[in-house]
Amino acid sequence: MTNVELNKVAPLLDVHSLRKTFGGRGGKPGSIVAVDDISFSLQPGECLAVVGESGSGKSTLARTLLRLVEADSGAVLYQGKDLLTLTHAEMQRQRRFLQMVFQDPYASLHPRRNVAQLISEPWEVHPGVVEKSARRERIEALLAEVNLPKHFISYYPNQMSGGQRQRVAIARALALEPKILILDEPVSALDVSVQAQVIKVLMSLQERRGLAYIFISHDLPLVRLVAHKVAVMNRGQFVEAGSTEEIFNNPQHEYTKSLLASSPSAGEFETH
């Protein structure tokens, strides 16, 4: 899908002047600005990469979008509806459409639950999504989507490799039929050698389901492979944003240039 085609569709997510500070008292803004006037939009089927160093505010941005922390000001329009003004009950209902995959599958999966329990957990919170009688079949279908064999259904996290665990975490995020996945460093806890399988699973899912991704990462070679658009984040702000080609071939901001220059494999690590 080209960008031209994408732009015809109304944005799935439209973020305006989002701001989040820490250190304030009594609900007042504080002095530490984690997310500073961020605006962007996301189309169905699009992958926006947010890159930056630790402390740049990328994870806080993700958490603010889902209202895991409350923003100070701004708007997060999901299909035209401002998520920041919803009541908690309404937000809870909307959350099924925006799901998150965390960095560390060793921490995000409960060690005493098997794969069937892990994947069906979201249905306890959102009971209407899949009928009880249809759940087992749906779990098997979800496992197939992330390239795991059926018999994994009874496995516990410690019986799986890091890459397999992360694929279970992805299957769980898909259980509620979301439209947007927020992927917070989804492969950086994994060995380089197993990153490829997780990335392939994610990208084929996106193609098949038309999902929109917010892909948070500091791994630029990887971002170049998966993202349509890249936003470079530094000290809470998007210092530069554009198409992946623009950012990689013609970076404008000094910070973007320094990020590209320090990536160990940019340029010299190519076979062609």
Partner 1 sequence: MSKLLEISDLKITFESGFGKVDAVRGVNLAMDMGDAIAVVGASGSGKTVLGRSLLGLVDAPGIVRGSIKFGGTEIVGKPEKDLRDIRGLGIGMVFQDALDGLNPVYSIGSQLSEIFMVRLGMSHSASKARAIEIMEQVGIRRAAERYHNYPHQFSGGMRQRICIAMAIGMKPKILIADEPTTALDVTVQAGILRLIKTLQSETGMGLIFVTHDLAVARMVSTRIVVMYAGQIVEEGPTEEVFRFPKHPYTKALLAAHPARVRSWRDLEPIPEAFVTDASSGGEAPGHSSPSIVVTN
DSSP H or E stretch at residue 16? strand 13-22
SS3 state of residue 173: helix
Q: How far apart, in Å, are the Cα atoms of 166 and each of 37, 186, 200, 215?
A: 32, 8, 12, 15
Task: Write down the least CB distance from residue 40 to partner 1, Å.
Answer: 22
Residues in contact with partner 1 by CB under 8 A are: 53-54, 158-164, 191-197, 199-200, 203, 218-222, 224-226, 258-259, 261-266, 268-272
How far is the C-alpha of 42 from the C-alpha of 78, rounded, in Å? 10
Minimum CB distance to partner 1 smaller for 75 or for 189 = 189
Which has the closest alpha carbon to 68: 98, 26, 30, 37?
98
Minimum CB distance to partner 1 smaller for 123 or for 215 = 215
Task: Write down the least CB distance from residue 57 to partner 1, Å.
Answer: 14
Task: Write down the least CB distance from residue 127 to partner 1, Å.
Answer: 34
Minimum CB distance to partner 1 smaller for 243 or for 262 = 262
Are the C-beta atoms of residues 49 and 231 closer than 8 Å to each other?
yes
Task: Write down the least CB distance from residue 192 to partner 1, Å.
Answer: 5
Task: Write down the least CB distance from residue 105 to partner 1, Å.
Answer: 12
Minimum CB distance to partner 1 smaller for 141 or for 225 = 225
On the CB side of 104, CA atoms within 13 Å amount to: 4
How far is the C-alpha of 270 from the C-alpha of 241, rounded, in Å? 25
Strand duo 237-243 + 229-234: pairing: antiparallel
Minimum CB distance to partner 1 smaller for 53 or for 90 = 53
